[in-house]
Amino acid sequence: MSVWDDLNARARGLSTHLLGRPALESLAHVRDLPTVAAELARLGYQVDDSPRRTVVDIELAARRAAAQRLRTLLRWAGSRTEALAVLFEDEDRRSITALLRGAVQRAPADLRLSGLLPTPALPERALEELSRQPSAGAVAALLGAWKHPLAHALMPEAARPEPDLLRIEVSLNRAFAERALRAARREAGRGVLTRYVQRVIDLENAFTALVLSEEKDSRLAEYWLPGGRELTSTLAERAVATGNATAAGRVLARGFAGTGLEKVFADPNASPAGLELAVLAALVAELKAGARTDPLSPAFLLGYALRLRAELLDLRRVVWGISLGAPVASLVKGLVTAP
- Taking the C-alpha atoms of residue 179 and residue 197, their distance in angstroms, rounded to an integer, is 10
Q: What is the pLDDT of residues 39-80, one digit of tens each?
A: 998 888 888 766 777 899 999 999 999 999 999 998 888 888
| pLDDT on residue 178 | 94
Burial class (CB in 10 A: 0-12, 13-18, 19+), 104: middle
Q: Is residue 133 a contact partner of residue 143, using CB atoms and an 8 Å limit?
A: no
Number of Cβ atoms within 10 Å of the Cβ of 85: 22
Q: What is the pLDDT of residues 283-328, one digit of tens each?
A: 999 999 999 999 988 999 999 999 999 999 999 999 999 999 999 9
Q: What is the pLDDT of residues 191-230, one digit of tens each?
A: 899 999 999 999 999 999 999 998 877 789 999 999 999 9
Give the model's confidence band at 190: pLDDT under 50 very low, under 70 low, under 90 confident, else very high: low
Number of Cβ atoms within 10 Å of the Cβ of 133: 20
In this structure, of 10-14, 212-216, 330-334, the range with the lowest mean pLDDT score is 212-216
| pLDDT on residue 187 | 67
Q: Is residue 213 a contact partner of residue 240, using CB atoms and an 8 Å limit?
A: yes
| pLDDT on residue 84 | 82
Q: Is residue 226 a contact partner of residue 214, using CB atoms and an 8 Å limit?
A: no
Give the model's confidence band at 1: pLDDT under 50 very low, under 70 low, under 90 confident, else very high: low
**How high does pLDDT run on average in the chain?**
91
| pLDDT on residue 79 | 80
Helices (H) and strands (E) in the chain, counts: 16, 0
Q: Is residue 12 a contact partner of residue 305, using CB atoms and an 8 Å limit?
A: no
Number of Cβ atoms within 10 Å of the Cβ of 48: 14
Whether the per-residue pLDDT at 188 is higher than 60: the answer is no
> Taking the domains of the chain in order of start, what are their residue ranges?
192-296
Q: What is the pTM of this model?
A: 0.92
| pLDDT on residue 49 | 66
What is the rounded average pLDDT of the residues 89-118? 94
